[in-house]
Each structure stands twice: as C-alpha cells, then as structure tokens.
C-alpha cells in the first residue's frame, strides 16, 4: 500500500487535462468555449459590410471588444467567487490523504472519505509533474509527483502495470 499525505495540488498541477478522453470531448468543449466569439465576429463583419457608412466608425468592433472584455472580466470574477466559496466551505480547502492499493484508491480529509476501484478508471496518465487517474471527464484525481519519493513512485508504476495487466484498470471502457 502506498500512502501519500497532504495531497493538495497547486493551480499548475490542477490545470486542465489536454488528452485522455478522446478528441471528441475536447472538440466539444472547444466549440462550447469559442463558438460565440466567432459568431459575434462574423455578425460584426456582416453588419459592417451591409450597413456601410450608416454606422459610426468602429461601432461594431467597439461592441466586439467591449463584449470580449466583459467576458474575460466575468471569467475572472467567477473564478474568484469559486475560490472564495471553496475556502469558506468546511471541507473545501483541506488536504487529502491517499491510500493506493491493489483494490484502488481511498481518499480521506478528516471530514470526507471516498474510494475508487481500479475497474472504475479508464486509465492512469503520468505527466512530468503529476499523475492523473481518469475516472470520468469531470472527475480526474490529480496526484502531484512532488509528494512521492523515488520508492513510492516506482512502487506506484509497478502497481499500475500490475492492475493494467490483470485487466482491472480500464475494464469495460471503450
């Protein structure tokens, strides 16, 4: 069993996942995020061309850049509000203790306990600074590699290879 205490990923370690769930879900998120600016740009260009000299100069481009500024400001405000809400929740800003075994991963932080069986995971991805456990597109526990010593990291790699070879990791996925 591998025990890791005080797991609390940094913002960099908790960055978005760029792969692992297939191109389809990433493309869908990209479309969701970027469709409105491209649509608004197309609309602005169309209005500028159709209206000709009727509109004051830079009228639509001013609206476009103003809208983008409000959007970025809104993202910043929402992010700050989310961070504040997490800090104000009783269990939100607590670090977790992980226990990784042949059965799966158990998490506890003193107020909550959770576990994930290896069969519930699609895959485990090792990156330069973190290890990702792909459970669902919205639930991917992050284990910072900085918290593991060389022996623990080697043991974890052996354990992951073992559960993959036994068919438990990713079973029933795809």
pLDDT at 174 over 60: no
> Could you give the residue ranges of the DSSP H alpha helices within 11-106?
23-51, 59-88
**pLDDT at residue 171, rounded to an integer:** 62
The average pLDDT across 35-60 equals 78
Name the residue among 109, 96, 124 with its Cα closest to residue 4. 96
Averaged pLDDT score across all residues of the chain: 86
Q: Tell me the C-alpha to C-alpha distance, in Å, between residue 14 and each of 10, 39, 139.
A: 6, 31, 12
Instruction: Report the pLDDT value the prediction gives residue 71, as an integer from 0 to 100.
Output: 84
Class (C level, CATH) for 2-16+94-165 = mainly beta
Q: Strand 113-117 and strand 104-108: pairing?
A: antiparallel
* pTM attached to this predicted model: 0.71
Cα dihedral value 149, 100, 21, 35, nearest 10 = -80
Comparison of pLDDT for 79 and 131, the residue scoring more: 131
Phi, psi of 78 (to 5 degrees): -65, -40
pLDDT band for position 153 (50/70/90)? very high
Query: Across residues 44-59, what is the average pLDDT?
Result: 78
Give me the mean pLDDT over the 101-116 stretch.
Answer: 93
């Amino acid at each position: 069993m591998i025990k890791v205490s005080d797991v609390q990923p940094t913002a960099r370690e908790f960055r978005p996942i760029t792969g692992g769930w297939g191109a389809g879900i990433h493309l869908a998120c990209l479309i969701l995020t970027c469709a409105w600016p491209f649509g608004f740009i197309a609309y602005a260009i169309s209005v500028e061309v159709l209206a000709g000299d009727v509109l004051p100069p830079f009228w639509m481009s001013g609206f476009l850049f103003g809208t983008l500024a409000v959007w970025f400001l809104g993202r910043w405000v929402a992010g700050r509000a989310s961070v504040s809400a997490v800090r104000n929740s009783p269990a939100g800003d607590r670090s977790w203790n992980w226990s990784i075994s042949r059965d799966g991963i158990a998490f506890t932080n003193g107020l909550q306990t959770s576990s994930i069986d290896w069969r519930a995971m699609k895959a485990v991805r090792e990156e330069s600074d973190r290890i990702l456990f792909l459970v669902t597109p919205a639930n991917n526990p992050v284990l910072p590699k900085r918290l593991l010593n060389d022996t623990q990291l080697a043991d974890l790699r052996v354990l992951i290879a073992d559960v993959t070879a036994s068919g438990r990791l990713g079973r029933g996925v795809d």
